[in-house]
């Protein structure tokens, strides 16, 4: 649970309250990070992830302790847990009073809801037309491995072509047959010659070993001597 005494200059009151409404003086917090709502494919899915104070979608979510308890009780009654943004706050707004009880500021990080945001569908940053999860976008796994507009090497790199490009650019390049066919034939010819050399070396090595075996057998009179 976040100890908001680290964020507030707390003064004691006559009632012993840790968070008096009049005397609590907020100090500046680290600037929270937010998601651009235009990223999300289904806009109606993000309302329950918005901070109740600033109405933005934070990358790290906090939820007031009493609101968390309320949602747990609802879950026990068969109601969906965290079906809305009850008690939800971004890191910039945890100085604000809880909207559930209107008295406390006992915010704790809500990792489950933070993780759920990363499962929402968003658009690819390279506009390839595919719908991916926010986690795939932030980890760059889609761009590196699947995106049709990702930068990649020519498929004839094995034949010596060092061209690289993205999307249709590299695809069109690969359709040019003349240079690639010539490079491929030359590369295959080189590999064939190397295989011949390797084969010759293997034959020499095999003969040398067979000669050693025969010498050993003759030394022990297992084989007759050479004529």
- Angle (CA) 223-225-227 rounded to 5° is 130
SS3 20: coil
- In this prediction, residue 104 carries a pLDDT of 72
- In this prediction, residue 1 carries a pLDDT of 45
**CA torsion angle 193 195 196 197 (round to 10):** 90
Residues 102/92, Cβ–Cβ less than 8 Å: no
- In this prediction, residue 162 carries a pLDDT of 83
Q: Could you identify the residue written with the tokens 């806009």?
A: 43
Give the separation between CA 92 and CA 51, rounded to whole angstroms.
10
Give the separation between CA 67 and CA 207, rounded to whole angstroms.
83
Q: Could you identify the residue written with the tokens 């010659």?
A: 193
DSSP string, 76-128: HTTPPTT-S-TTEE-TTSTTSPPTTTSS---EEE-HHHHHHHTTSEEE-TT--
The model's pLDDT over 40-55, given as tens digits with 9 standing for 90+, comes to: 888 888 888 898 889 9
Domain regions of the chain by residue span? 4-117, 151-227
**Per-residue confidence in pLDDT tens, the chain, 227 aa:** 444 333 333 333 333 333 333 334 443 455 688 988 888 888 888 888 898 889 999 988 888 877 766 555 554 554 545 556 778 888 888 877 777 676 777 788 888 888 888 888 898 888 888 888 888 888 888 877 888 888 888 888 887 788 888 777 888 888 877 777 778 888 888 888 888 888 888 888 888 888 888 888 888 888 788 77
| pTM attached to this predicted model | 0.50
Q: Other C-beta atoms within 10 Å of 202: how many?
A: 10
- In this prediction, residue 188 carries a pLDDT of 85
- In this prediction, residue 76 carries a pLDDT of 53
DSSP state of 225: P
Give the separation between CA 56 and CA 117, rounded to whole angstroms.
13
- Cβ-based neighbours of 132, under 8 Å, separated by 6 or more: 121, 122, 123, 124, 142
Give the separation between CA 172 and CA 98, rounded to whole angstroms.
58
């Amino acid at each position: 649970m976040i100890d908001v005494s680290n964020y507030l200059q707390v003064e004691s009151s006559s009632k012993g309250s840790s968070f008096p409404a009049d005397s609590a003086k907020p100090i500046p917090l680290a600037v929270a990070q937010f998601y651009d709502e235009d990223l999300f494919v289904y806009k109606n899915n993000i309302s329950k992830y918005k901070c109740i104070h600033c109405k933005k979608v934070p990358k790290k979510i906090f939820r007031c302790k009493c609101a968390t308890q309320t949602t747990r009780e609802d879950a026990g009654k068969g109601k969906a847990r965290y079906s809305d943004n009850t008690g939800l706050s971004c890191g910039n707004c945890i100085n604000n009073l809880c909207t559930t009880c209107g008295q406390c500021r006992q915010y704790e990080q809500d990792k489950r809801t933070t993780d759920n945001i990363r499962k929402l569908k968003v658009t690819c940053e390279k506009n390839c037309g595919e719908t991916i999860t926010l986690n795939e976008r932030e980890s760059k796994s889609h761009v590196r491995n699947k995106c049709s507009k990702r930068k990649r090497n020519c498929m004839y790199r094995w034949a010596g072509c060092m061209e690289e490009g993205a999307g249709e650019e590299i695809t069109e390049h690969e359709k040019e047959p003349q240079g690639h066919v010539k490079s491929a034939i030359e590369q295959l010819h080189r590999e064939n010659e190397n295989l011949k050399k390797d084969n010759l070396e293997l034959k020499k090595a095999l003969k040398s070993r067979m000669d050693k075996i025969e010498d050993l057998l003759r030394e022990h009179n297992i084989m007759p001597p050479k004529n």
